[in-house]
Structure 1
Amino acid sequence: MRVIIAEDQNMLRGALSALLGMEDDIEVIGQAENGEQALQMIVELSPDICIMDIEMPKLTGLDVAERLKEQGHSCRVVILTTFARVGYFQRAIKYGVQGYLLKDSPVHELAAALRSIFKGGRVISPALSISLWEAENPLTEREQEVLKLVAAGLSVNEIARKLFLTGGTVRNYVSEILQKLEAKNRIDAISIAEKNGWLQ
């Protein structure tokens, strides 16, 4: 199988490439240091699988997965991450990602997962709690939008103008957000949402 590795940490990318390259049935045909480069390589080289980190410059791994799904590209996507965040996981499933594995997984496990995915399977790291499947983002799209603007430092009145709402409506949204996230204040709410990947 032909594989591309997209990872912004040079040492990890090189080590992964060398270790996977030792497998008889895996050929690493490209390495990308950011999401934009990964997308370009996938289009040009048509690999069977692309292994991607989530948090990369220019485009995240999830951004790339979303674009590949939109384009109907046949390349299978495997997310390799240190983040067991509910929001990230849900987006990965939504964008048709076939693998979601943790970076501390042994290479032989990664190779076995790639073989399974190559045959059409889907592999989720056993270390990821079942709660990732069950937990859902409690915020509506509008509430996420409001919280993003709060995180960007906008005042209630500025948010109201930007979203064509009244100040009272924005305050109601903020109150609802705090209640849903069981947050002490706005900063706490932003922290909780970001930690769970709910502000993407």
Structure 2
Amino acid sequence: MTEGDSIRIVLADDEQLLRYALGALLSLDGVITVVGEAADGAEAVTAVLRERPDVLVIDLEMPETDGLHAVEAILRDAPDQKILMLTRHARPGVLRRALKAGVRGFMSKSADPELIADVIRRLHEGGRWIDHDILEASVIDDSPLTERELDALRETQEGHSIKEIAARLHLAPGTVRNYLSSAMQKTHTASRQDAARNARARGWL
């Protein structure tokens, strides 16, 4: 197989040992070539926009810019980028956001490397893949929060003020306060920051 026939991937994971090991195992496939690596979400964005890989394989849980924020940024600039997201935790809100953003593959980090390689090939060919266990966990969604309340809590989680949230969501500040007040009532918390932490802990964000 020639260089042109290989599947070029960028591999993003903050755990260096795991990143190196997975990269080495995937390379044994004979088809997959690791053309870039990243230790956090910001590096992943830079690597993908520089290398333009066939598939990005990215860990969801990373410091600073996490995997989900990274793929949302990447897909704004490269909407056709094929992405396989790996995670240890299947939170309903995360899966919904990932699929809405355009992520085509979602599977457990504990999956066999041979299966990960197979899914990379599948995505490269235009297919999709959601791990059965992740899909099963994601449909158990007891969130009482509306999408707009979740949007406001996500922005709160990022440390934005009411005024900043209003500008980012194209809403009036009073409307944002109403959404956050409602979220606080539904999560039985005393502040919007506590409401955001509560929602994240319960898998709603």
- TM-score bin (small chain): 0.7 to 0.9
Residue 105 (structure 2) pairs with residue 89 (structure 1)? no
Cα deviation, 1:90-127, whole Å, max 9, x if unaligned, reads: 11001100111111111111111111111111101122
Task: Tell me by how many angstroms 1:57 deviates.
Answer: 3.1
Structure possessing the higher radius of gyration over alpha carbons = 1
Residue 107 (structure 1) aligns with:
113
Aligned to 2:164: none
Equivalent pairs counted in the alignment come to 187
Task: State the Cα deviation string for residues 54-107 of structure 1 (Å, max 9, x = none).
Answer: 122342211221122212343211111112111111110011001111111111
1:1-200 equivalences under 5 Å are 1-133=7-139, 135=141, 138-142=145-149, 145=152, 164-165=173-174, 174=181, 176-177=182-183, 180=186, 183-186=187-190, 189-199=195-205
Q: Check the 8 A contact 2:90/2:137 in 1, yes or no.
A: no
SS at match of 1:130: helix
* Greater displacement, 82-91 / 51-60: 51-60
- 2:35 maps to a residue whose letter is I
Residue identity matched to 1:8: D
- Which consecutive unaligned segments of at least 5 residues does structure 1 have? 155-162
Give the residue type in structure 2 aligned to 1:109. L
| 1:11-65: CA deviation from partner (whole Å, max 9, x where unpaired) | 1101111110111111111111111111111111111001001122342211221
Aligned match of 2:166: none
Task: Provide closer, same or farther for how the CA distance between residues 172 and 21 of structure 1 changes in structure 2, counting only shifts above 3 A.
Answer: closer
CA contact (8 A) 2:157 2:197 kept: no
Q: Check whether the contact 2:54–2:124 (CA below 8 A) recurs between aligned residues.
A: yes
C-alpha spacing 1:171/1:151, structure 2 compared with 1 (3 Å): farther
Q: Which runs of 5+ in 2 are unaligned?
A: 1-6, 162-171
Give the AA of the match of 2:29: E
Q: Contact between 1:7 and 1:34, CA under 8 Å: does it hold in 2?
A: yes
Tell me the residue number matched to 2:168: none
Judging changes above 3 Å, is the alpha-carbon distance between structure 1 residues 34 and 172 closer, same or farther for their aligned structure 2 residues? closer
Structure 1 stretch displaced more, 63-72 or 29-38:
63-72
Percent identity among equivalent residues?
Answer: 28
CA RMSD of aligned residues (A): 3.3
2:49 partner amino acid: V
- What TM-score do you get using the length of structure 1 for normalisation? 0.77
Give me the whole-angstrom Cα distance separating, in 2, the residues matched to 1:30 and 1:151: 28
For the residues of structure 2 that align with 1:195 and 1:129, how far apart are their CA atoms? Answer: 19
Shift of 1:198: 3.7
SS in 1 for 2:69: helix
